[in-house]
Amino acid sequence: MITIDLYSGLLGVGKTTLIRRMLETTYKDQQVVILENELGKVNYDSAVLGASGMRVEQITAGCVCCTVAGDFKAAIRRIGEELHPDVVILEPSGASDVRTLLRVILEVEGVSIGRSIMLVNAKKCLALLRVIGDFYKDQIRCADTIFLNFAEQVKEGQLPLVIEELQKINPKASFVAIPLREVGADTFPLTPQPVPMPDDSEEVQDDRSLRVIDDDTVSMKMGRSRRSTRKLPAPGRTAPEGPQLHSWTYAFPRAFTPSQLEALDRIFEAPEAETIWRVKGILTLSDGSYRKYDVTFGDIFGDSFEGDADVPRNTLVIIGPEIPRGFLIEQFHQLFPAE
């Protein structure tokens, strides 16, 4: 029997960081395999997790629960036969339809669901419920535990209101609201309660994932922009209907000085960038060190990065329903003028 622990939540909510913490505590003496898929052409989260020494099996093509469901089942079977883990940690992209993903997991013979943890940004949860709506609520309904990340940063008196709103959506969920650094081996115990499941009358094929469109990759070299071939629907087919996110990749030509890093922050804080939901990448700094750069719904994070991750440096993956490419290219060219 393979046990799968599911970590879900919107883009940039802290899933990878929580998993790293759990690897140090809850899973410390266990054989673990991490199975994850990402948005964007550069798989940064796999690089961060892989640097911890864990084995990471990647599923690409946007959505683990629908477009690559067949690959997912094959990957689970292969992991069980070849690696014999105590637990498989599954980290789907923030655009995945968790309802369908749970169904797909339970279709695999010899697989059970252990923990189903959803992370929410406690500071932005109420606003995101208004902006994203039903898709976000579907994710919340499918969790048995909801981890309120950044709860310690919420204004006094606001956290009970956030929990009350979430309880209206999923009254069966338990809630954890502690700083991520305080997560320990007993924070998320295995419980006998079943994982909440969607109405059985709904078909598995009714996928509600956010549709992800991989746009141009732009790189700066000698002051010029170079574009790769845009991925378009096949001839005779139209783009999928429904909610859509765009993923855009941008490569910078040189290492960042401290002042350029501050200027980069200001670019993503500008009103023109408000439709950007997530930015992630590993930047090279002028002193030879590396920095993990992360923007999540307007919040900017940066941590030092150590490891030999085989991912491009100085490349950002930018994700959102609308990406202001013209504004960004103009700003990036000002940041690195032609030499």
Question: Does 228 score more than 50 pLDDT?
Answer: no
Q: In 3D, which of 147, 190, 185, 250 has the Cα closest to residue 5?
A: 190
Q: Domain check: are 175 and 244 in the same one?
A: no
- Give domain status of residue 205, yes or no: no
Q: Domain check: are 47 and 141 in the same one?
A: yes
Question: Does 298 score more than 70 pLDDT?
Answer: yes
Average pLDDT over residues 302-307: 65
Question: Does 147 score more than 80 pLDDT?
Answer: yes
Average pLDDT over residues 76-94: 83
Q: Domain check: are 69 and 121 in the same one?
A: yes
Domain of residue 290: give its range: 211-229+239-335
Q: How confident is the model at residue 115 (pLDDT cuts 50, 70, 90)?
A: very high
Q: Domain check: are 160 and 254 in the same one?
A: no
pLDDT tens per residue, range 87-97 = 888 888 777 77
Find the CATH number of the domain harbouring 274. Answer: 3.30.1220.10
Contact 290, 305 (CB under 8 A): yes
Q: Domain check: are 168 and 301 in the same one?
A: no
Q: How confident is the model at residue 42 (pLDDT cuts 50, 70, 90)?
A: very low
Q: How confident is the model at residue 194 (pLDDT cuts 50, 70, 90)?
A: low
- What pLDDT is attached to residue 100? 80
Q: Domain check: are 164 and 254 in the same one?
A: no
Question: Does 171 score more than 90 pLDDT?
Answer: yes
3-state secondary structure 206-255: CCCCCEEEEEEEEEEECCEEEECCCCCCCCCCCCCCCCEEEEEEEECCCC
Q: How confident is the model at residue 61 (pLDDT cuts 50, 70, 90)?
A: very low
Q: Domain check: are 178 and 219 in the same one?
A: no
Q: How confident is the model at residue 247 (pLDDT cuts 50, 70, 90)?
A: confident
Region of poorest pLDDT, from 45-54, 93-102, 216-225, 275-284: 216-225
Question: Residues in the chain, how many?
Answer: 339
Q: Domain check: are 250 and 300 in the same one?
A: yes
Q: Domain check: are 259 and 323 in the same one?
A: yes
Q: How confident is the model at residue 199 (pLDDT cuts 50, 70, 90)?
A: low
Q: How confident is the model at residue 134 (pLDDT cuts 50, 70, 90)?
A: confident
- What pLDDT is attached to residue 140? 92
- Give domain status of residue 328, yes or no: yes
Stronger pLDDT, 29 or 131, i.e. the higher one: 29
Find the CATH number of the domain harbouring 136. Answer: 3.40.50.300
Residues linked to residue 3 through DSSP beta bridges, in sequence order: 112
Q: How confident is the model at residue 226 (pLDDT cuts 50, 70, 90)?
A: very low
Domain count, the chain: 2
- Give domain status of residue 170, yes or no: yes
pTM over the 0.95 mark: no
Average pLDDT over residues 8-35: 87
- What pLDDT is attached to residue 304? 65
Contact 100, 73 (CB under 8 A): no
Q: Domain check: are 21 and 153 in the same one?
A: yes
Give the Cα separation of 273 and 112 in Å (integer). Answer: 42
- What pLDDT is attached to residue 156? 86
- Give domain status of residue 220, yes or no: yes
- Give domain status of residue 234, yes or no: no
**Residue 6 CB: number of other CB atoms within 10 A?**
23
- Give domain status of residue 177, yes or no: yes
Q: Domain check: are 173 and 223 in the same one?
A: no
- What pLDDT is attached to residue 45? 47
- Give domain status of residue 171, yes or no: yes
DSSP 49-68: HHTTT-EEEE--SS-TTTTT
Question: Does 256 score more than 90 pLDDT?
Answer: yes
Q: Domain check: are 253 and 292 in the same one?
A: yes
- Give domain status of residue 296, yes or no: yes
